[in-house]
Chain A
Amino acid sequence: MADFFRKLIGSKEEPAKQKQSNAVITAPLSDHQINAIITNQNFTYEVKQLVAAVGQSVGKQREHNEDSVLALTSTVSGSADNVPFGLYIVADGMGGHQFGEVASNAAIRIMAGNITKRFHSYLYNLPTQSLQISLQEVMESSVMEAHQYVQREAPGSGTTLTAALVLGQQMTIAHVGDSRAYSIHPDGSIVPITRDHSLVKRLEELGHLNKYEAENFPHRNVLIRALGQGESLEADIFTVPFPNNGYLMICSDGLWGVISESDIFRIISQAPTLHRACGNLVEAANAAGGPDNISVILAQLIG
């Protein structure tokens, strides 16, 4: 027994000396030691954090800005839970009487209003019951409400709408028209996650146009589906994982139609921050002529 305790607390005879040596150990670490500790630690963020930035410009050739953008980011984290929440929308309006901007603006506000109303209590109160409606249903009903509003209040106009609801590490996309969402991966691959609802894309898919003809097609901006147009509207709604260590990018055709994917990746990877990346993307589109309104959202999950 005595041996056991001796082993446990060390030599019995010299407790004072023991204390002294302890005091020596608590001396400040040298820079060298600190660096060694840091490099030995696998440095990870405890909390998954969503960050986002937005860039927009009317472009060089248009008088009005018919694009609308909405970005909403929130991180709620505590001992129990960590739910990054983000809502990102790009809408590109069209139609006479300046109704295009009415349509795109109404669409993003109604979408965002509906979605935040649904999620508010779950994110910021302490919910006792889980949300009864699914994320895809929330997106679908919000698109329908925006659709009906635009039909009623701005008849004849329409708008594209590409929205991403990020919750945790998944994103639920609602998409109508030819704005686009991309997953941008660290290896430089830029994967479109939406499919344009445009005449030119459809004709290309059918094989009526080859890539060259498609690029020079005179009616590139004719949509076959748009929010606010037609009796029934079927938005593409689906859920995909947020790109691992990568970016979500949503943009209007004023960006993707003007600068190449490789340039987009180069600009993003060279910029020190997301905000600068957005600014540089808009600048590049303007430098290339800025034929249309430019809108871009970049989002990233850190941690």
Chain B
Amino acid sequence: MQSGVTLVDRYIIQDVIGVGGMGSVYRARDLHFPNVVKLVAVKEMINRVPDALVRKTIVQNFEREANMLATLNHPAIPRIYDYFTQNDRSYLVLEFIHGKDLETVISEANGFLPEDQVIRWAIELCDVLAYLHGHKPDPIIFRDMKPSNVMINHNGDVVLVDFGIAKTFQSGQKGTMIGTEGYSPPEQYRGEATPLADIYSMGATLHHAVTHRDPRLEPPFSFGERPVRRINSNISVEFEAVVDKALQYDPADRFPSASAMKGALMKVARKTGALASSITSGLPVSTGEIKPLWTFKCEDEIRGTPLLYQGSLFIGCYDNNLYALNAADGQFQWKYPTDGGIVSRPLVYDGNIFFCSEDRRLHVVGARTGKVVWTYFSEGKIYSSPRFSDGHIFFGSDDQDLHAVNVNSGRAIWKFSTDAPIHSTPLVANEMIYFGTESGAMYAIDFRGEMKWRFQAKRSITSSPIHKGQAVYSASLDGTLFALDAKNGWAIWKFRLGKGSVSSPAIAEDLIFIGAADGFIYCVDLRTAREVWRFRTDNQVSSSPVVYKDSIYCGSVDGSMYCLEYRTGRLRWKFGSQAAITGSPIVLDDMVYFGSTDHNVYALSA
């Protein structure tokens, strides 16, 4: 319904405040009170079922809910004012609760909710459950206790909402699945609903409130695998014990009634309540000073990635030189001048170093001597790194061509023309060459330079592709990390990053890692494209993560090099340089080497 619509000449709709399985809930103004603004909640149920008999049953269910609610009188249950049915829609008019639902409170909270606060709400919830379970002639089972059905009103007190599925309990009645996965106890899936089921859901709700772990996102009945205090050590042992008991798998092991649970909570409150629990910052920060083993200062920014070969570290710099340093102590060995900045990562083949420069050339220089072997000219600046395969060097250029150059003769065997500069580094796999362009295309071409397929992203693909199995992975400035079928270029999945990415992904086991301009390093499951974790740095991440042992290493524009445990994203250490780190590290023999735009090359212990 649009706002402004008037129902039965009385309720003028203002806004949608919730969307449920069968229809929406609106905030409306009751026009019978012209001198004051009296707000009500209008719950709408749309009935589009074709079968007349079923449709009638649904209306009856609705009216039963209304009648049942009307007989209840408790401060934590909204009052019912009216109900009516119009055509295919039925409406329930209820007390409007000023406030927020507990789910919103939990997700908006900065850190964990204080235990005292949660205990106070828990006691109120036990009160209202005890009231419902004590209903005559039959107990009322709420059946859907969860944070989104608990409102916290403007006084900070709880109100239970959405009685849509609360059913008068009739012993032995079987039902299909009712309730919400994650919050419902095992027996509820079997169609059994007793007051003890509400106790379980209450435990699940409290567990969610103090741990911030949404049980809908966890396997059902797995609370035992994540005890409260392991996640939030500020919670008292006593309170954890209450939550634990409510969540017992066997109903007989739970509190026998809501009143019994309330009693246990009161006891905890008396024991801990007087004490204002001081909140300690929960996260250990491991920024102990890390001393580099050596540093080497160049004359301009370093934005590229080094190469390690036979004890020497080779790295390009924006002072136009390629440097050769002793990897053990950072001693200068030689430098080779070009006529442009060097961002391209060097490559070694047969004792020669291959690298590209903004001076449009692919340079080949002897690794020991630093003397030129040959050079190859393209017609544009080169940011792409060379890739060697089957006797040829492949790289892209701002002249919009992918060049294939014979490694011995230095002659082009072919060029593949695209419609945009190529900054991404080609991947050679499955006898195909994959690379992205600044116009957002990803090409797959064969060794003869013929196109096999092309995929189009919305913005440029600067990120260099990698592959595993039958898929090729890359990212675009349009903010997606994607998996393409290596054979035909179909997008298998896309994962939405907060912002675009120029970082190249890395893979370990079934996990893929990538940085993005929103400052996060992401870890995503390769098969399902679901996020496993994300780690926030303080600026864009243009650097590409590198996997070494059980860690990933990645730089950030915030100036730091990060070492994270790759399965969890937990920070192991970080090292601050004086300026942005946009290049990627190399990690070998427990050493990390990288350059920074502060002009320095660093060597750290991994």
Contact = CB atoms under 8 A, between A and B. Distances in A.
A155 B58 contact: yes
Interface residues of B, number: 46
Given A131-B491, A137-B493, A229-B177, A168 B190 contact: no
Interface stretch (A2-10, A232-240, A266-274, A292-300): A232-240
B349 interface: no
Given A95-B176, A199-B190, A155 B490 contact: no
Given A133-B491, A168-B490, A232-B216, 18 more contacts: A83-B488, A130-B490, A130-B491, A133-B494, A137-B493, A155-B49, A158-B176, A169-B470, A169-B485, A203-B221, A206-B221, A206-B222, A219-B190, A224-B177, A224-B189, A234-B216, A236-B528, A239-B492
A27 to B, nearest CB: 38
Interface string A122-147: 00000001111111110000000000
A230 B177 contact: yes
Interface in B483-523: 483, 485, 487-494
Given A152-B48, A208-B249, A238-B528, A134 B177 contact: no
B456 A94 contact: no
Interface string B466-496: 0001110000000000110101111111100
Contact of A205 (B21, B54, B219, B485): B219
Interface of B: 20-22, 48-51, 54, 58, 176-177, 180-181, 186, 189-191, 216, 219-222, 224, 249, 453-456, 458, 469-471, 482-483, 485, 487-494, 527-529
Contacts of A169: 470, 485, 487
Nearest to A219: B190
Given A137-B494, A152-B48, A237 B487 contact: no
Given A97-B54, A208-B249, A229-B176, A202 B493 contact: no
A168 B494 contact: no
A190 B221 CA distance: 29
Interface string A75-107: 000000101000000000011010000000000
B221 A153 contact: no
Given A129-B456, A225-B181, A237-B528, A134 B488 contact: no
Given A136-B493, A202-B220, A81 B488 contact: yes
Given A130-B455, A222-B190, A224-B189, A136 B492 contact: yes
A181 interface: no
Contacts of B190: 199, 219, 222
Contacts of B482: 134
Given A153-B48, A202-B219, A239-B483, A130 B489 contact: yes
Contacts of B455: 130
A151 interface: yes
Interface string A167-197: 1111010000000000000000000000000
Nearest to B55: A155
Contacts of A199: 186, 189-190
A154 B249 CA distance: 32
Select the residue from A95, A222, A226, A239 with max chain B CB neighbours within 10 A.
A239
Nearest to B490: A167
Contacts of A232: 216
Contact of B492 (A94, A172, A203, A223): A172
A113 interface: no
Select the residue from A169, A223, A231 with max chain B CB neighbours within 10 A.
A231
Given A169-B470, A219-B190, A222-B189, A131 B490 contact: yes
B527 A238 contact: yes
